[in-house]
Amino acid sequence: MSVAVTIETIEKRFENFPALRGVSLDIQPGELVALLGPSGSGKTTLLRLIAGLEEADRGRVLFGETDTRDLSLRERRIGFVFQQYALFKTMNVAENIAFGLRSRPRRERPSRDEIRKRVSALLELVQLPGLEKRYPSQLSGGQRQRVALARALAIEPRVLLLDEPFGALDAKVRKDLRAWLRELHGRTGHTTVFVTHDQEEALELADRVAILNEGRIEQVGSADDVYDHPATPFICEFLGEVNKLPVKVVGSQAFFGDRPVLGGLSQNQGGPASLYVRPQHLRIVDETPLALPGVVEHLRRNGPLRRAEVAVEGLKKRLDVDLASQVAPAIGERVRLRIAHGNLFAAA
């Protein structure tokens, strides 16, 4: 089996709102894929379509060679973890985890003893041993999340689908669970798709990231791919912070006003374009040929980073400049900026 899940030109409308407009994606066995996008981009709809909780208007989803339209929800064997976990409030942890196994038709159902063993093994796996008798209301957010995961894993799913798995947790728990999930995935090797609007989470966790915008996948690739080589201006702006400069390309150089700011271009055709530069790719330099003069207007601290806001004549928005190991300028100081790296997109 070469591909675990194939998504073929899926289209889906809600009333008059097109949620997905021709989405295709292949997911390899054992892969951890993130569906990343702003709210309303269709990422959750796509996840629910893979799960069979929504039906596509056009296109299909294959598991291996099997068209999922021929499968009932039970036959799909999906492990779905909901954003708010959807643990059964009236059942304790053990009953929640055993629910999928107990729902099987009698001849496929494991014995009572076996179910109990499976439940405690799963609780061991999600690092909550001994919590069988607790009720969901007695658990913390992170614990509920892990019980929900154990419940989904109990049915030995073909694919694990997680909807904003860390959305409802506070920052510290989020970080811990993220590392833990990565490690768990490494151990169990389930093909996993998760939805998130947090780019940091997607880039850190996933083998590959699929970035959605307005019902389309704009780019699929590894974290390095999408971060270093964004395919569209949207991705540039969505993944991390970025400065935007209107430029004109002439020959192999990009001009801001009549000043050349970036050279050595080859792939672009001439004409107006937008140059996207990340704060860490702006350097404060002494005199060089390709430099942008400006005035430091503000200095602030962003966690470990110090950052200068530099006003450039002819640009409304101040440029963000990371001051990694550079000597901090003073407010009001005139500086020159060199662009170490940028992404150029022809103006629409």
Partner 1 sequence: MSDATLPTVSAAMPARSSGRARGESLAVQIVLIAISLAFLLLFLLLPLVTVFVEAGARGWEAYRAAITEPDALAAIRLTLLVAAIAVPFNIVVGIAAAWAIAKFEFTGKNLLISLIDLPFSVSPVISGLVFVLLFGAQGYFGPWLQAHDLKIVFALPGLILATVFVTFPFVARELIPHMQSLGSADEEAALTLGASPWRVFFSVTLPNVKWSLFYGVLLCNARAMGEFGAVAVVSGKIRGVTNTMPLHIEILYNEYMGAAAFAVASLLAGLALVTLVLKTLLEWRYGDVIAASRRH
Residues lying near partner 1 in the complex (CB under 8 A): 51-53, 73-74, 76-80, 82, 84, 86-91, 99-100, 103-104, 151-152, 154-155
- Within 8 A by CB and 6+ apart from 35, the residues are 43, 46, 47, 193, 194, 195, 196, 210, 212
Minimum separation from the CB atom of position 160 to partner 1 (A): 11
Round to whole Å and give the CA distance between 272 and 186: 46
User: Closest CB to partner 1 among 53 and 295?
Assistant: 53
Task: For the beta carbon of residue 26, count every other beta carbon within 10 angstroms.
Answer: 16
- Which stretches within the chain are classed as H helix? 43-51, 73-76, 93-102, 112-125, 141-154, 171-188, 199-205, 223-228, 233-238
Residue length of the chain: 348
Minimum separation from the CB atom of position 158 to partner 1 (A): 12
User: Closest CB to partner 1 among 82 and 255?
Assistant: 82
User: Closest CB to partner 1 among 144 and 208?
Assistant: 144
Round to whole Å and give the CA distance between 269 and 110: 65
- Within 8 A by CB and 6+ apart from 93, the residues are 123, 128, 131, 132, 133, 134, 135, 136, 139, 147
Minimum separation from the CB atom of position 72 to partner 1 (A): 9
User: Closest CB to partner 1 among 99 and 180?
Assistant: 99
Round to whole Å and give the CA distance between 343 and 83: 35
User: Closest CB to partner 1 among 75 and 176?
Assistant: 75
The 3-state DSSP class for residue 202 equals helix
Minimum separation from the CB atom of position 103 to partner 1 (A): 4
240, 230 in Cβ contact below 8 A? Answer: no
User: Closest CB to partner 1 among 35 and 150?
Assistant: 150
Minimum separation from the CB atom of position 6 to partner 1 (A): 20
Round to whole Å and give the CA distance between 211 and 209: 6
Minimum separation from the CB atom of position 95 to partner 1 (A): 9
User: Closest CB to partner 1 among 77 and 248?
Assistant: 77
Minimum separation from the CB atom of position 113 to partner 1 (A): 20
User: Closest CB to partner 1 among 84 and 127?
Assistant: 84
Minimum separation from the CB atom of position 90 to partner 1 (A): 4
User: Closest CB to partner 1 among 102 and 317?
Assistant: 102
Task: For the beta carbon of residue 34, count every other beta carbon within 10 angstroms.
Answer: 27
Task: Report how far apart, in Å, the C-alpha atoms of 151 and of each of 122, 142, 195, 311 are.
Answer: 8, 14, 19, 54
Query: Given the structure tokens 């494991």, which residue do they identify?
Result: 110
Minimum separation from the CB atom of position 41 to partner 1 (A): 21
Among 142, 127, 110, residue whose Cα is nearest residue 187: 127
